[in-house]
């Protein structure tokens, strides 16, 4: 099968060092707000890349659920493949892609678990069906078929009938603490803007323009 020849020019915006925020989280929040306004369908979707103890990578799309000066937060089953890989290699990378804005953001850094208090607070905001699904699924493990999964969900529903559904102890959050955050703005003729924020040993961020 031939790959479609999709070509378009990028002329929506520019990214200038003089206009960028002095630290990356502020810049990211501004871009996220603009992405959500331009296309509200999953602006928090991000590709999460991890690697196992041998350096073999894997990637998947997850949703950003928190962002502050400490980093980027997502939640998952602690038995999932991503969690198993983070247990042996706690470094990861994130990519956000917002085609409506011709923008990407990349982040790299050390990943750590959030506190159980943070996990419980977020879990309580999830719809009931999502909370029950977290109990029913052993993420990334093989299962005989869809019927077996639905039976596990039915069992979880009976277990918590009329009761609160707490966060399972095998489920929780992770926070990527960035040491590198790169902002990419598509430009005409593929002469894109790229600004990379790097965290120094003194805790200060420096910004450098990268060639496209």
Q: Which residues are catalytic?
A: 190
- CA-to-CA distance for 133 and 123, rounded, in angstroms? 12
The residue among 37, 175, 22 whose CA lies nearest residue 103 is 37
Tell me if 183 sits within 8 A of 27, measured CB to CB. yes
- Is 65 buried (19+), middle (13-18) or exposed (0-12) by CB count in 10 A? middle
Chain position carrying tokens 């009931």: 128
- CA-to-CA distance for 36 and 144, rounded, in angstroms? 39
- CA-to-CA distance for 117 and 115, rounded, in angstroms? 5
First-last CA distance in the chain: 30
């Amino acid at each position: 099968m031939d790959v479609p020849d999709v070509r378009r020019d990028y002329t929506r915006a520019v990214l200038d060092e003089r206009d960028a925020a002095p630290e990356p989280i502020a810049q990211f929040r501004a871009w996220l707000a603009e992405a959500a306004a331009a296309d509200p369908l999953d602006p928090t979707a991000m590709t999460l890349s991890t690697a196992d103890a041998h350096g073999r990578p894997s990637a998947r799309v997850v949703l950003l659920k928190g962002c502050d000066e400490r980093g980027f937060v997502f939640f998952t089953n602690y038995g999932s493949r991503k969690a198993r890989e983070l247990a042996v290699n706690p470094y990861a990378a994130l990519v956000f892609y917002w085609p409506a804005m011709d923008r990407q953001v990349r982040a790299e850094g050390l990943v750590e678990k959030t506190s159980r208090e943070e996990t419980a607070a977020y879990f309580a905001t999830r719809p009931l069906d999502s909370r029950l699904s977290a109990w029913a699924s052993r993420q990334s493990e093989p299962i005989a078929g869809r019927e077996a999964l639905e039976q596990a969900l039915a069992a979880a529903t009976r277990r918590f009938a009329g009761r609160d559904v707490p966060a399972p102890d095998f489920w929780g959050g992770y926070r990527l603490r960035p040491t590198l955050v790169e902002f990419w703005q598509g430009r005409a003729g593929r002469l894109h803007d790229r600004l990379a924020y790097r965290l120094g040993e003194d805790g200060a961020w420096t910004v450098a323009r990268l060639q496209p």
